[in-house]
Amino acid sequence: MDAGSVDAVVVAAGASTRMTGRDKITASLLGRPLLAWTLDALAASSVVGRLVVVTAPARVSEVAVQPWVHAHGARVVPGGARRQESVAAGVAATTSPVVLVHDGARPLASPALVDAVAAAASSDGAAIPVVAVAETLKRVAGGRVGETVDRAGLAAAQTPQGARRELLERAWARFPPDGPREFTDEAALLEAAGIPVTAVPGEATNLKVTLPEDLARAEALLAARLGPVRVGHGADEHPFGPETGLALGGIVIEGAPRLRGHSDGDAALHAVADALLGAAGMGDLGRLFPAGDPATRGIASGELLRVVVGRLSDGGWRAQSLDVTIRAARPRLGAVRLSAMRDAIAAMVGLPPGSVEVKASSGNLIGFEGAGRGIAATAVAMIRRG
């Protein structure tokens, strides 16, 4: 199949009813939301050109602004009350002759699996991945075993499921998405319409996160796939200058003295940048942006950090977590400011806020920062391939 010739719809409009109050789509896996990994998995296939994310109507604006959505140029559309209505809304936003539909809670599908389903759907009309049922099956009623079910010929269905657009439209003409009959997946719809569906070998690791314990399994599988964590340490310090408007941790504290430096002097962001570069073996901020370069005089440190994050991404690295400590006798950094810094840094690096920690110390009258003459910051970064 030609590169980019297939559109993929990611269905993420469910209510996570079996997750005991947790939203599985935004649940953290190795420092990133589960849905971000799902989009990465589909985008890794050479045949997938366009991604469409279907989410609950109330969450469209929230999901659409996420950096991991923008990274893949994904379109976000509102879904319906049932899966089949959400799928129809997603397919309506695609244009390719063959469309894949994938569960948002399946972050581990391999590019080979996506390619195989797309190829079979293109040649045969429709295809789904399946895995053999390994366990003995029992029919249970009222807490008692009624009978043993013969598992010969049985298989568990996975996603992505693929079909030619014309076949989906034919099936919906007979069974409208908002009609009374409900279908658990696209294969069930096509079967009801008399359209053959090809089975291709699925993957045991292509699990769907449904229960809380599934998150730990998915995280372990991802960690094994991506390899070991690398850790970097960064540190920076700047004295106060004569100007006001303190840039620190990605926010500006009006009225506080500004730090003196070639850029805006944000010691916390400089420490984060150095920690990331160190973890990736890419040198330090000073080598990347020499202090004498007039092009970066007075530049916002957030711009420098975005370049660093881009360098890591180009090298195949992604931040997993950050721990930042700021030492300053002044100004007072309370919970509100520290939380704002955490959120700002998380957005710049592409992490959920829960994977970033920003804390502060007064310096205990030790050193120039403890004496109130400047600010120092340290950061520890964990990164992984991915």
pLDDT in tens, the chain (386 residues): 898 899 999 999 976 655 555 787 888 888 889 999 999 999 999 999 999 999 999 999 999 999 889 989 999 999 999 999 999 999 999 999 999 999 999 999 999 999 999 999 999 999 999 999 988 999 999 899 999 999 888 999 999 999 999 999 999 999 999 999 999 999 999 999 999 999 999 999 999 999 989 999 999 999 999 888 999 999 999 999 999 999 999 999 999 999 998 899 999 999 999 999 999 999 999 899 988 788 888 899 999 999 999 999 999 999 999 999 999 999 999 999 999 999 999 999 988 888 999 999 998 878 888 888 999 999 999 999 87
Neighbours of 49 (CB within 10 A): 18
Long-range contacts of residues 282-285, Cβ cutoff 8 Å, at least 24 apart: 282/311, 282/312, 282/315, 284/234
Question: What is the predicted pLDDT for the residue at 378?
Answer: 98
SS3 content of the chain, % helix, strand, coil (to 5): 35, 30, 35
Question: What is the predicted pLDDT for the residue at 24?
Answer: 78
353 vs 101: CA distance, rounded Å: 30
214 vs 170: CA distance, rounded Å: 36
CB 171 within 8 A of CB 192: yes
Return residue ranges of the chain for CATH 3.90.550.10.
6-226
**Burial (CB count within 10 angstroms: exposed 0-12, middle 13-18, buried 19+), residue 347:** middle
CATH topology of domain 6-226: Spore Coat Polysaccharide Biosynthesis Protein SpsA; Chain A (3.90.550)
234 vs 271: CA distance, rounded Å: 4
Rg (CA), the chain: 25
CB 123 within 8 A of CB 157: no
Question: What is the predicted pLDDT for the residue at 369?
Answer: 84
Question: What is the predicted pLDDT for the residue at 298?
Answer: 87
Burial 311-342 (b: 16+ CB within 10 A, else e): bbeeeebbbbbbbbbbbbbbeebeeebbeebb
42 vs 49: CA distance, rounded Å: 9
Question: What is the predicted pLDDT for the residue at 21?
Answer: 58
Question: What is the predicted pLDDT for the residue at 227?
Answer: 87
Question: What is the predicted pLDDT for the residue at 20?
Answer: 58
88 vs 245: CA distance, rounded Å: 51
Question: What is the predicted pLDDT for the residue at 368?
Answer: 85
Please report, in angstroms and rounded to a whole number, the separation of the first and last CA atoms in the chain: 25
The runs of H, that is alpha helices, within the chain are 34-43, 60-64, 67-70, 83-92, 111-124, 165-174, 186-192, 212-226, 267-280, 285-288, 301-314, 335-349, 367-370
Report the CATH superfamily, name and number, of domain 230-385: 2-C-methyl-D-erythritol 2,4-cyclodiphosphate synthase (3.30.1330.50)
Burial 196-228 (b: 16+ CB within 10 A, else e): ebbebebbebbbbbbeeebbeebbebbeeeeee
Question: What is the predicted pLDDT for the residue at 19?
Answer: 57
379 vs 273: CA distance, rounded Å: 9
**Sign (positive or negative) of CA dihedral 19, 22, 24, 30:** negative
**What residues does 157 pair with on adjacent strands?**
130
CB 360 within 8 A of CB 334: no
342 vs 348: CA distance, rounded Å: 10
313 vs 307: CA distance, rounded Å: 10
Return residue ranges of the chain for CATH 3.30.1330.50.
230-385
CB 273 within 8 A of CB 285: yes
Say which amino acid occupies 69. V
Question: What is the predicted pLDDT for the residue at 98?
Answer: 98
Give me 240's structure tokens: 């106060």
Question: What is the predicted pLDDT for the residue at 17?
Answer: 59
Neighbours of 19 (CB within 10 A): 19
What are the residues whose beta carbons fall under 8 Å from the beta carbon of 217, sequence distance 6 or more? Answer: 207
Question: What is the predicted pLDDT for the residue at 23?
Answer: 81
pTM greater than the 0.85 cutoff: no
CB 169 within 8 A of CB 124: no
